[in-house]
Amino acid sequence: MKKPFEALVRAHGATVLRVCRAVAGPDDAEDAWSEAFLAALRAYPDLPAGANVEAWLVTIAHRKAIDQLRSRRRAPVPAGEVPEPRHTRTQPAFAGWQRDLWEDLATLPDKQRAAVVYHHVAGLPHREVAAILGGTAAAARRASADGIAALRRTHAEGTDDDRDR
């Protein structure tokens, strides 16, 4: 007959906690200890009667402590304060209003906009752009070039002061 699980916790809890501290460190040891005993509680009914319970618990504790270390490494690390943007629409960099590239892109004709986005943003070759838009690779290349030329003209008009930096 198996002992009640509570007796296992009392008998081996300190050993399991030492293993968790040794592997996961003092900050994560208690979480690993709790996770180890929760996992052990779930698996205890299937444990064979003659099994080495302490070794079984230590193995579970070791694995849960490693899991704690891995989750700590994957957790996001605060990066500090996010810097403010250099210019906003409420605080323009110059007397006019700073043009936004995405707004300039929206002013292009549909074929030029699509060709620019598919080729320059998505990185597709002109023959694939042509297959999507319908037409030839030369036409896609021309639409992309015309779109980029228009963007250079319109975006440069709104950002003349930015070139001085």
Q: Out of 57-61, 72-76, 91-95, 148-152, which region has the weakest mean confidence (pLDDT)? A: 91-95
Sorted by where each starts, the structural domains of the chain and their CATH numbers stand as: 5-74 (1.10.1740.10), 101-157 (1.10.10.10)
pLDDT over 90 percentage in the chain? 45
Q: 76-94 pLDDT, tens per residue?
A: 878 788 777 665 555 444 4
Query: What is the distance between the alpha carbons of residues 75 and 148, in angstroms, rounded to a whole number?
Result: 41
Q: Which long-range contacts (CB under 8 A, 24 or more apart) does 71-77 make?
A: 72/28
Q: Which residues contact 92 (CB under 8 A, 6 or more apart)?
A: 98
What global pTM score does this model have?
0.48
Write down the pLDDT at residue 138: 96
Report helix, strand and coil shares of the chain as percent, to nearest 5.
Answer: 70, 0, 30
Output the six-digit token pair for 26: 């003092």
Model confidence at 104, pLDDT cuts 50, 70, 90, reads: confident
Query: What is the distance between the alpha carbons of residues 139 and 48, in angstroms, rounded to a whole number?
Result: 74
